[in-house]
């Protein structure tokens, strides 16, 4: 039924992809999925001024900035456990002796943008200060510090779904009152498991919304995160994005504590990192890297900065790609792009044996004609017509990501 509705919509006009009427948050931001770096996957709460500045510098020198990454986001751990005597949220002065304005100025001087973390609860997951009861004061301070992006994380929120919704709406309004453009990233776990799952209302509240469990550097967990947002494709578009969590590309198992390795988690291979990135690109997910950019090997940089993959993610139409077919363990994803009869396709081998996949125009919801398909990872170009295209030798957990344009 779901698939039938999907096919009918596409046959009529690609724009019907956005079948949902709820308006996205109209703050003029995040018209394509945000791109940046966040401190959590790499450092947990062990962040400080020196680390963040060296990461920001590495974002420029590694080519990440040129590839489109712009936000440098502090996650939990920047703040203290108490407000100051005037009731203001304060940075930990041991970790950030120069204060937030100086840090923000240095990040802006590199041509990058500055992001910060808070919570609608009294405390964050790390037991540090949250914004509850002080929302406008905090939003004003964030704006005065030159913050361009806020990750607002549900942690420890006590209250009903309605109260939780009100808390996320309150911060949206407080941010708007500051007059500063601030991308609003919500992690609204309070509706998890509820019938609405936070949608569609969250679309009018935030620019992005976490739809997955916390990601880990592990193939199965990564798939669990991307699968969690698959059915939500119709909500995504310019101004609102479903967020399957940050990227693990190049984490090399750094976030796998013994608790996870005992459960069988293991760091992804290079091949799996490439597939992970391809999935985030075709699903129009925010591209928020989480690896240590200061010592990023060239093969990891080559994944995160691949221009063809990033262009698929940043396509201005803003459609969220989704799986349309699975055969012999290979899952085919399809994403319409802004050009007429232009799209992206991703064949993911989710199985443990090398596999082949025969791509046909019908599976890609493309009308008859001749197309040129460019493999963004190898640079090879193939003709695609009524005969179809055989994708052979897709390695276990590997993928083929194609950018497809009409050939005539």
Binder among 126, 224, 362, 395 for ligand GAL (CB under 6 A): 126
> Considering beta carbons, is residue 83 or 156 the nearer one to ligand GAL?
156
**Ramachandran region, residue 226 (left: φ > 0; alpha: ψ -120 to 50; beta: rest):** alpha
Going by C-beta distance under 8 Å and a sequence separation of 6 or more, which residues neighbour residue 241?
30, 33, 34, 207, 208, 209, 284, 285, 286, 320
> Considering beta carbons, is residue 192 or 328 the nearer one to ligand GAL?
192
Distance CA 241, CA 184 (A): 11
Residues 58-87 that bind ligand GAL (CB under 6 A): 75-76
Minimal distance, residue 81 CB to ligand GAL, in Å = 13
Helices 161-178 and 135-144 cross at an angle (nearest 10°) of 40
Minimal distance, residue 122 CB to ligand GAL, in Å = 14
> Considering beta carbons, is residue 122 or 382 the nearer one to ligand GAL?
122
* Contact indicator for 65, 59 with CB cutoff of 8 Å: yes
User: Is 149 among the residues that bind ligand GAL (CB under 6 A)?
Assistant: no
CA angle 249, 250, 255 (to 5 degrees): 90
Binder among 138, 153, 292, 315 for ligand GAL (CB under 6 A): 153
Distance CA 389, CA 408 (A): 18
Among 211, 209, 207, 230, which residue's Cα sits nearest to residue 6?
230
> Considering beta carbons, is residue 214 or 375 the nearer one to ligand GAL?
214
User: Is 243 among the residues that bind ligand GAL (CB under 6 A)?
Assistant: no
Per CB under 6 A, which region of 62-70, 121-129, 247-255, 365-373 contacts ligand GAL? 121-129
* Contact indicator for 217, 272 with CB cutoff of 8 Å: no
What number of chain residues touch ligand GAL (CB under 6 A)? 10
Closest residue to ligand GAL, Cβ-based?
A: 125
Per CB under 6 A, which region of 123-131, 176-184, 263-271, 349-357 contacts ligand GAL? 123-131
User: Is 187 among the residues that bind ligand GAL (CB under 6 A)?
Assistant: yes
* Contact indicator for 118, 131 with CB cutoff of 8 Å: yes
Three-state secondary-structure class, residue 208: strand
Binder among 56, 155, 190, 404 for ligand GAL (CB under 6 A): 155
Length of the chain: 408
User: Is 89 among the residues that bind ligand GAL (CB under 6 A)?
Assistant: no
Minimal distance, residue 41 CB to ligand GAL, in Å = 8
Catalytic site positions:
153, 214
Cα-based distances in Å from 77 to 51, 72, 161, 222, 267: 13, 15, 27, 24, 25
* Contact indicator for 138, 167 with CB cutoff of 8 Å: no
Minimal distance, residue 137 CB to ligand GAL, in Å = 22
Minimal distance, residue 40 CB to ligand GAL, in Å = 5
Q: What string marks each residue from 366 to 395 as x (binds ligand GAL by CB under 6 A) or -? A: ------------------------------
> Considering beta carbons, is residue 126 or 204 the nearer one to ligand GAL?
126
Per CB under 6 A, which region of 118-126, 174-182, 285-293, 328-336 contacts ligand GAL? 118-126
> Considering beta carbons, is residue 52 or 324 the nearer one to ligand GAL?
52
Binder among 6, 17, 37, 40 for ligand GAL (CB under 6 A): 40
Minimal distance, residue 385 CB to ligand GAL, in Å = 45
For residues 362, 365, 367 and 369, what is the CA-based torsion angle, rounded to 10 degrees?
-70
CB atoms within 10 A of CB 46: 10
Distance CA 344, CA 375 (A): 10
User: Is 214 among the residues that bind ligand GAL (CB under 6 A)?
Assistant: yes
User: Is 347 among the residues that bind ligand GAL (CB under 6 A)?
Assistant: no
Query: Cα dihedral sign for 241, 244, 246, 252?
Result: negative
| DSSP-derived pairing of the beta strands 381-384 and 389-394 | unpaired
Binder among 89, 125, 206, 304 for ligand GAL (CB under 6 A): 125
> Considering beta carbons, is residue 120 or 238 the nearer one to ligand GAL?
120
> Considering beta carbons, is residue 78 or 240 the nearer one to ligand GAL?
78
The beta strand positions in 305-377, using DSSP E, are 322-327, 330-336, 343-349, 355-359, 371-375
Minimal distance, residue 265 CB to ligand GAL, in Å = 16
Q: SS3 breakdown of the chain: % helix, strand, coil, rounded to 5?
A: 30, 20, 45
Residue ranges in contact with ligand GAL by CB under 6 A:
40, 75-76, 124-126, 153, 155, 187, 214
């Amino acid at each position: 039924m779901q698939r039938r509705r999907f096919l009918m919509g596409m046959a009529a006009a690609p724009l019907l992809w956005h079948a949902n009427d709820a308006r996205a948050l109209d703050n003029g931001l995040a018209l394509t999925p945000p791109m940046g770096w966040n401190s959590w996957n790499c450092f947990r709460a062990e962040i400080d001024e020196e680390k963040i500045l060296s990461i920001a510098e590495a974002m420029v020198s590694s080519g990440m900035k040129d590839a489109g990454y712009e936000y440098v986001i502090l996650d939990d751990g920047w703040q203290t456990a108490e407000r100051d005597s005037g009731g203001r949220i304060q940075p930990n002065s041991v970790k950030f002796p120069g204060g937030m304005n100086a840090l923000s100025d240095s990040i802006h001087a590199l041509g990058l943008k500055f992001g910060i973390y808070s919570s609608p609860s009294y405390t964050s997951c790390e037991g540090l200060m949250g914004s509850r009861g002080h929302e406008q004061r905090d939003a004003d301070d964030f704006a005065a510090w030159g913050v361009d992006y806020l990750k607002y994380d549900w942690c420890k929120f006590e209250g009903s779904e309605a109260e939780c919704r009100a808390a996320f709406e309150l911060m949206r309004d407080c941010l708007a009152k500051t007059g500063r453009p601030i991308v609003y990233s919500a992690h609204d776990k309070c509706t998890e498991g509820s019938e609405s799952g936070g949608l569609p209302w969250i679309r009018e509240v935030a620019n992005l919304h976490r739809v997955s469990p916390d990601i880990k550097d592990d193939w199965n967990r990564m798939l669990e995160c991307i699968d969690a947002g698959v059915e939500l494709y119709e909500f995504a578009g310019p101004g609102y994005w479903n967020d399957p969590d940050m990227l693990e590309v190049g984490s090399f198992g750094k976030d796998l504590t013994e608790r996870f390795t005992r459960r069988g988690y293991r760091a992804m291979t290079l091949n799996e990192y490439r597939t992970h990135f391809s999935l985030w690109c075709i699903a129009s997910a925010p591209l928020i890297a989480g690896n240590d950019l200061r010592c990023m090997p060239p093969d990891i940089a080559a994944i995160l900065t691949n221009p063809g993959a990033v262009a698929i993610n940043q396509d201005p139409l803003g459609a969220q790609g989704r799986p349309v077919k699975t055969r012999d363990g290979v899952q085919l994803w399809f994403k319409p792009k802004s050009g007429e009869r232009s799209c992206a396709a991703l064949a993911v081998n989710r199985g443990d044996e090398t596999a082949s996949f025969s791509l046909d125009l019908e599976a890609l919801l493309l009308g008859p004609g001749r197309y040129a398909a460019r493999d963004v990872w190898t640079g090879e170009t193939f003709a695609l017509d009524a005969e179809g295209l055989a994708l052979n030798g897709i390695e276990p957990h590997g993928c083929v990501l194609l950018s497809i344009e009409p050939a005539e």
